[in-house]
Structure 1
Amino acid sequence: MTPADQEERQSLLRPPGGSVPRGRRLFLAAFAAALGPLSFGFALGYSSPAIPSLRRDASRALRLGDDAASWFGAIVTLGAAAGGVLGGWLVDRAGRKLSLMLCTLPFVAGFAVITAAQDVWMLLGGRLLTGLACGIASLVAPVYIAEIAYPAVRGLLGSCVQLMVVTGILLAYMAGSILEWRWLAVLGCAAPSLMLLLMCCVPETPRFLLTQHKCQEAMAALRFLWGSEQGWEEPPLGDEHQGFHLTQLRRPGVYKPFIIGISLMAFQQLSGINAVMFYAETIFEEAKFKDSSLASVIVGAIQVLFTAAAALIMDRAGRRLLLAVSGVIMVFSTSAFGAYFKLTQGGPNNSSHMDLFTPISMEPVDASAGLAWLAVGSMCFFIAGFALGWGPIPWLLMSEIFPLDVKGVATGVCVLTNWLMAFLVTKEFSNLMEVLRPYGAFWLSSTFCIFSVLFTVFCVPETKGKTLEQITAHFEGR
């Protein structure tokens, strides 16, 4: 890089007076990118209303049995794991903007295949394609938003990724109560199609353009997004943007964020969120809620409400505090969940294969219903706690802590970890409860939540109010 380029970059990234940018088009660009998480939330939520409909389908070729229904729900996570790897490769080579535009293709293609499905294999193929798109979107959208946002709003906009995911899930639940599974798949094409149109109107991230030595285009992007060329000081990247090499893992600025990012993703999935969602409808039925679709909408509404609350206070409370509070809430709620199952399990069961969905209650009916309300309260408390911290913040921190030269590979590994853990937890949860029984499985989740709180307190840095370059400097000890 020439001295002239260095000087132009520094003038581009250092504010003359330290004032905060006020570009409104930043929020348009963030909304356009967040339609990717909305799409993948809809894809995740699609299986909940679609599976009961497919079980009743008049066509024998499309009718889902227990095993096929399990794969219909879980295969999305396998596709998303592959999408995380592909997204990590794309984001550094095609750029953030083009990667988001490309991920709309498997979204639309997947839902189109489901709409036209003639047998179960077409259904699974469509779900795999939407899963691939989910993996790409879950990686690229947080990176794009983090790189276009200034520190004062980066927490708010970054948390909107998870807010759009849970909103997509809620929309799928609500639309699924009205629409048949084919028309629900048609509706799934709307958000990615809109994202493709809007992304054509917004620029690439200035930081990515700088890695490609396109300083003039980066200045134009900043002017579009922030209303001026001002920004924050960024350390030089070196002569070339060479990408990731294994030798870079020796650098504290690389291996420390790697450990933190992977651990956050693992703890998110080990928290028990899939176990709680797995039991949600059963718990509501025990509490005399006969309409399971209403139960799903209630759960979705709680997620949206508290994720929105987290987004609004993220840049004031900070990431570490919300993670710690969220973890403590989940410790108590999963412990109460375990206590509920311990109390309703009753006496010994001679069967080697217990019924996981119907707790064996030795209590009177009124007492059992009262305990079910304890479970409903614990579940709502858990979902609210998860939405406040461990839902949005791992994705936000993933987009903040990695230096530019390793961001593609590093975020790809984090997303791969998250989706593989989601697949393993989802598929093996029933087996785990056969070994530990339900109360043991939830108490195990409570133990993981305790470790997540300790990890947050001792290992996770606060990134509130810092530029991405200051975060990198913190890890490198500068």
Structure 2
Amino acid sequence: MDASEETKPLLSPADREVNATSGDTSTEGRQFDKIQNKNLYLATFAAVLGPLSFGFVLGYSSPAIPDLKRIDNPNLQLDANAASWFGSIVTLGAALGGIIGGWVVDKIGRKLTLMMCSLPFIFGFTVIIAAQNIWMLYLGRVLTGLASGVTSLVVPLYISETSHSKVRGMLGSCVQLMVVTGIMGAYVSGLGLHWRWLAVACSVPPAVMLILMCFMPETPRFLLAKNRQSEAIEALRFLRGPDYDPEWECRQIEACSTEQTNGLRLEDFKDPVVYKPFIIGVLLMFFQQLSGINAIMFYAETIFEEANMKDSSAATVIVASIQVVFTALAALIIDRAGRRVLLIISGLTMAGSTAAFGVYFKIGMENSKNVSIDKIALLADSSPTAQPPENQLAWLALASMAVFIAGFAIGWGPTPWLVMSEIFSTRARGFSSGACVLTNWGCAFLVTKEFHDVMSLLSSSGTFWVFSAFCLLSVLFTILCIPETKGRSLEQIEEHFRRVT
């Protein structure tokens, strides 16, 4: 094992003596050798149909808005302002979902919360399918956003609490992988499906998730927190295979969580085990959104139109494909490279690419006085007489966007959600995760809704340079504040915050 700060064990020898009832390192190694991951992968697959569903929610607006702006029905036709609300109101529902989910997930458990959140997904898309006016469209978007907020909270927790340290990073990264797969699925489906039929397609994954989750176990850590030891043992036996000793892992978990069964109280925020991970988690979500990712993804098609790409719909599909590929790459290497390394590489890559995008728009504005900010921010129709100011630089826009998406996908896309699911203590996990989701989606709403106003104030180039500055700040934050968690059990990570002053 490395002697570096990032890779040495979070538990000291003295700490390991305190936890002697959990078994020594050799015992841990023998237990890992007996694990069979087949059922764990099945449970993870059932859970990540939730992120796939809210990926469809995020991607739905890009192909649906152009259809709804051209529709003949005046009760459904979206003008520029209504299109902006249709794209961004989902984040308000998601922020509300973070508040509700943080409370519900500790009351009824991870499994039942995940099953329940499939219902607003299905009902929300049903409302969109049956929409007769703009307000029904808004309601459908809010409901699907509500489900997205709960899902973005509970799925990382479910995967983290059912996984073991050898595969937790890979499986946790599948959350973001399924989100971007859903976004790409919406983009591709939108090329050939009417907006109502696209909503029908989007309602299928949550329905399948509801069925599959009926056969999956609750997380062992939640069951032990509720003093349901026999159920926890059965859950571990299902997740780890018949040759594994579930009682050994139960003893490990209980050794670190015996003082945490009374729930979270206000005075607990004086404890560094609670407040330090809380601050890190909230700032992770803040920096993820201030990279500009949701503004770019919500308005990807129009950004490419502004960059004078002839087939902007195809360009967004290409971008989504890049995101899927690099998110999959992150899932494969995150348990080897570590969380911190990927966050630093990701932040530097995004900073450079957004700066280059700003240069593109700066050159475009200097060479043409006809650049339309309304067009780029509010998905306005292209003017047939408008001519690209610098066609020969269109490659710079496409390259910058592709590099940005690749950089985000390999680090700041999956890793904040993974780290969020790892660093919180048992008693604070529901509340702190809810606060992180609220921060994430609240910032997402502000960025997407105010994108137009910011670009009016700072210009296209200035806005992307601001995003670049936040990306650089995220690198500094990673270096100074985020501990490495690869290869550590959740109990070891918790002990790290207890020891760090």
TM superposition score category, shorter chain reference: over 0.9
TM-score (norm 1): 0.92
1:264 equivalent in structure 2 = 284
Asked whether the equivalents of residues 373 and 460 of structure 2 are also in contact (C-alpha less than 8 Å), the reply is no
Asked whether the equivalents of residues 170 and 333 of structure 2 are also in contact (C-alpha less than 8 Å), the reply is yes
CA deviation vs aligned residue, 1:158-200 (integer Å, no higher than 9, x gap)? 0000000000111111111111111111112210110011101
Tell me the distance in 1 between the aligned counterparts of 2:455 and 2:51: 31
In the alignment, which of 365, 368, 376 is matched to residue 357 of structure 1?
Answer: 376
**Number of equivalent positions:** 466
Which amino acid in 1 is paired with 2:450? E
> Are 1:129 and 2:147 matched, yes or no?
no
In the alignment, which of 258, 263, 276 is matched to residue 238 of structure 1?
Answer: 258
Q: What CA RMSD, in Å, does the superposition of the two structures yield over aligned residues?
A: 2.5
In the alignment, which of 179, 186, 195 is matched to residue 172 of structure 1?
Answer: 186
Deviation at 1:281, TM superposition (A): 2.8
Structure 2: which 5+ residue stretches go unaligned? 1-18, 378-386
Asked whether the equivalents of residues 148 and 205 of structure 1 are also in contact (C-alpha less than 8 Å), the reply is yes
> Are 1:311 and 2:325 matched, yes or no?
no
Which amino acid in 2 is paired with 1:154? R
1:277 equivalent in structure 2 = 297
Cα 1:149/1:46, change in 2 over 3 Å: same
2:32 equivalent in structure 1 = 19
Tell me the distance in 2 between the aligned counterparts of 1:310 and 1:283: 26
Tell me the distance in 2 between the aligned counterparts of 1:195 and 1:348: 50
Which amino acid in 2 is paired with 1:387? A
Tell me the distance in 2 between the aligned counterparts of 1:88 and 1:48: 29
> Are 1:217 and 2:237 matched, yes or no?
no
Which amino acid in 2 is paired with 1:433? M
> Are 1:453 and 2:475 matched, yes or no?
yes
Which amino acid in 2 is paired with 1:33? A
Tell me the distance in 2 between the aligned counterparts of 1:188 and 1:242: 40
Cα 1:137/1:275, change in 2 over 3 Å: closer
SS of residue matched to 1:387: helix
Which amino acid in 2 is paired with 1:468? L
In the alignment, which of 152, 174, 183 is matched to residue 197 of structure 2?
Answer: 183
Tell me the distance in 2 between the aligned counterparts of 1:152 and 1:239: 27
Asked whether the equivalents of residues 62 and 299 of structure 2 are also in contact (C-alpha less than 8 Å), the reply is no
Structure 1: which 5+ residue stretches go unaligned? 1-6, 359-364
Identity percentage of aligned residues: 58
> Are 1:37 and 2:55 matched, yes or no?
no
Which one is further off, 394-403 or 115-124? 115-124
Tell me the distance in 1 between the aligned counterparts of 2:370 and 2:308: 28
> Are 1:60 and 2:61 matched, yes or no?
no
SS of residue matched to 2:419: helix
SS of residue matched to 1:463: coil
Tell me the distance in 1 between the aligned counterparts of 2:29 and 2:485: 23
> Are 1:325 and 2:322 matched, yes or no?
no
Cα 1:77/1:287, change in 2 over 3 Å: closer
Tell me the distance in 1 between the aligned counterparts of 2:336 and 2:156: 20
1:149 equivalent in structure 2 = 163
Tell me the distance in 2 between the aligned counterparts of 1:355 and 1:341: 14
> Are 1:376 and 2:398 matched, yes or no?
yes
1:251 equivalent in structure 2 = 271
Tell me the distance in 1 between the aligned counterparts of 2:195 and 2:388: 38
In the alignment, which of 71, 80, 85 is matched to residue 94 of structure 2?
Answer: 80
Cα 1:74/1:282, change in 2 over 3 Å: closer
Which one is further off, 235-244 or 447-456? 235-244
Which amino acid in 1 is paired with 2:328? A
Tell me the distance in 1 between the aligned counterparts of 2:296 and 2:204: 30
CA deviation vs aligned residue, 1:224-279 (integer Å, no higher than 9, x gap)? 00112253823342366222211111111111101110000000011122343356
Asked whether the equivalents of residues 15 and 231 of structure 1 are also in contact (C-alpha less than 8 Å), the reply is no
Tell me the distance in 2 between the aligned counterparts of 1:391 and 1:246: 31
Deviation at 1:350, TM superposition (A): 12
Deviation at 1:15, TM superposition (A): 4.3
Tell me the distance in 2 between the aligned counterparts of 1:392 and 1:416: 17
Deviation at 1:317, TM superposition (A): 0.4
CA deviation vs aligned residue, 1:454-474 (integer Å, no higher than 9, x gap)? 110111000000000000000
2:103 equivalent in structure 1 = 89
1:390 equivalent in structure 2 = 412
TM-score (norm 2): 0.88
Asked whether the equivalents of residues 82 and 416 of structure 1 are also in contact (C-alpha less than 8 Å), the reply is yes
